[in-house]
Amino acid sequence: MPQPRSVAFIGLGIMGLPMSINLVKAGFQVTGYDYNTQAVQKLAEQGGKAAGSTAEAVAGADAVITMVPDSPDVEAVLLGESGVFAHAAPGSLIIDMSTIRPDVSRALAAEGAAHGFRVLDAPVSGGEVGAIEAALSIMVGGDEADFESARPLFDVLGTTPVLVGPAGAGQTVKAANQLIVAGNIQLVAEALVFLEAHGVDTEAGLKVLNGGLAGSTVMARKGEAMRGRRFQPGFRIALHDKDMKIVTAAAREAGVAIPLGALVAQFVGALKAQGHGGLDHSALLMVVEQLSAQES
């Protein structure tokens, strides 16, 4: 299969915009579309091409990448009358890099194949920093030949593109990723509140903890901001709430128990219900403080 050179990028948010810009810098012809016209303009300023609709963006593209918030958004972008399946060239590579339900990914892959498209689900991990630095972990579900066709794109966007199985498998692995990340943030938050209650220098405490078995990417990237109660996103609570609903539903469907994950999912949901959906997911620290009757 020929490797793509022209790319339509649908969804230029916190993740999508820097990802699309990295593709431009790597020499790909990138046409972007988003409801946010300012984001489209920022892509154009970096050498990309602005489109006024999904249909316009995908016209003539070898590959289409979607990066939108949730399952219904992906369905609308791909299946709508002015969507990708209705206007992209048959045989195009369709890569959904959103984080959505695995069953929806499987259904969209089947629908895409019926229209003559090659569809991959390829959600990412690494957050805004990973998107900007082109250091994302990319979990791909789909056909091996299609994965190899998409590899030049993945190699620009991340450092760890891995084919993990057939359609929907990428989303399943991403659900597991979000389960681990939420649990890790929760434990870092609990450790911080615990250390503070005992008067420990938390900067030194986190430094030594991160040098041992307790260390993690979450602690390295989020620890300092959590110490300072700086919860600017990053990755918003509202999105992690959506992701935790995906993993808890998928676990229930498979008959798998995730007791700790289910508890953290309730904490994430509680923060969103309190009106904190726009904060970074490291704001789980606030729940620990509430339960401990501590004040920031």
- DSSP result, 127-178: HHHHHHTT-EEEEEES-HHHHHHHHHHHHHHEEEEEEEESTTHHHHHHHHHH
Dist. CA 6–CA 88, nearest whole Å: 12
| Residue 145 CB coordination number (10 Å) | 10
* Predicted local confidence at residue 2, as pLDDT: 65
The pairing of strands 93-96 and 118-121 is parallel
**Secondary structure of residue 29 in the 3-state scheme:** strand
Query: Is CATH 1.10.357.10 the right assignment for the domain spanning 172-291?
Result: no
pLDDT at 1: 58
Q: What is the pLDDT of residue 127?
A: 87
Q: Which of 241, 292, 247 is nearest to 266 (CA)?
A: 241
Please indicate whether residue 174 is annotated as part of the active site: yes
Q: What is the pLDDT of residue 296?
A: 58
- Cβ within 8 Å of residue 134, ≥6 positions away: 22, 156, 157, 158, 159
CA distance 102 to 168: 5
- State residue 295's pLDDT score: 65
Contacts of 24 (CB under 8 A, 6+ apart): 30, 43, 46, 47, 48
Domain range summary for the chain, segments of one domain joined by +:
6-167, 172-291
Catalytic residue among 42, 174, 242, 272: 174
Full pLDDT tens readout for the chain, 296 residues: 567 889 999 999 999 999 999 999 999 999 999 999 999 999 999 999 999 999 999 999 999 999 999 999 999 999 999 999 999 999 999 999 999 999 999 999 999 999 999 999 999 998 888 999 999 999 999 999 999 999 999 999 999 999 999 999 999 999 999 999 999 999 999 999 999 999 999 999 999 999 999 999 999 999 999 999 999 988 899 999 999 999 999 999 999 999 999 999 999 999 999 999 999 999 999 999 999 998 65
Phi, psi of 125, deg, nearest 5? -135, 145
pLDDT value for 4:
80
- Residue 159 vs residues 61, 119, 126: alpha-carbon distances, Å: 24, 21, 10
CATH node for 6-167: 3.40.50.720
Distance CA 252, CA 246 (A): 10
- pLDDT at residue 294 in the model: 80
